Amino acid sequence: MLLAAPFPNQGSENMEKVIEMKNLTKLYKNGRGINDLNLDVYKGEIFGFLGPNGAGKTTAMKIMTGLIQPNRGDVKLFGHSVIEEYEKAMADVGCIIEVPEAYSYLSAYENLKQLARFYPDVDEKRIEEVLELTGIGRYKDEQPKRFSLGMKQRLGLAAAILSRPKLVILDEPLNGLDVEGMIDIRKLILSLAKEGTTFFISSHLIHDVELTCNKIGIIYNGMLLNIQSMDDILKNYATLENYFVSEVESYGRLPSRIDQ
């Protein structure tokens, strides 16, 4: 097993730890899953969880959000265990796991208004704001059943950031988006991160992770191979793709195709 290298945060001991994953393991009967994942994510970071389809990204994120239970290990969000203190752990978290869901018979605006009932500080002004931020303001009266996959992704992101969460967990958020949509969502993520929002983003799209994230964890066959800052990766490997290939070769197995 390859151990994850510690992320070289400058003064990380004085930074707020948002995610703490310890020995996280979930193994399925078919042999897939995740094995002994350890990582820390700090306030304001955009952490890219990079790996091919089937590597274990979604499994880890489902455990992080309480959708499934691990065989062993734990995840703490803002110091609270997802397993033992679920409500406290998830109090300041917004997320999209797998495909965003919405009420097909309600409009985009009405979907967000339904969700806003759970948050006392979310008013109609905030609903309008997130619709504009995610680029679907002009479609707010349309029903999601008429939306493309990319539009559904935008609505899902609007729902994820509606309550002004301190941590946003996104599973393949750029799926289905065209180039303009990818640029829009990337700008939104970078803008929110500058304001202090922390992001944990899974993806198999190397180029988009390189342009969006400032810290990268490579997951392959359920194992966390390494963690590095994007600055160090570009300095030592020139591109994220070169780094990914190098880490996988070191693991002992090179994929025949890397999704771009």
Which of 60, 136, 54, 61 is CA-nearest to residue 102? 136
Chain CA centroid to CA 124, Å: 27
Strand spans (E) along 78-194: 80-81, 93-96, 167-171
Which of 94, 97, 88 is CA-nearest to residue 112? 94
Mean pLDDT by runs of 10 across the 260 residues of the chain is 36 77 94 94 96 92 95 97 96 90 93 94 95 95 91 94 96 86 91 95 90 95 95 96 92 50
Instruction: Rounding to the nearest 10 degrees, give the CA dihedral for residues 58, 60, 64, 68.
Output: 80
Contact 68, 97 (CB under 8 A): no
Task: Provide the pLDDT for residue 252.
Answer: 62
CA distance 158 to 154: 6
Task: Provide the pLDDT for residue 100.
Answer: 82
Task: Provide the pLDDT for residue 253.
Answer: 58
CA distance 122 to 118: 9
Task: Provide the pLDDT for residue 35.
Answer: 94
pLDDT (tens digit per residue) in 114-135: 999 999 899 999 999 999 999 9
Residue with tokens 């009420």: 103
Task: Provide the pLDDT for residue 234.
Answer: 96
CA distance 154 to 177: 9
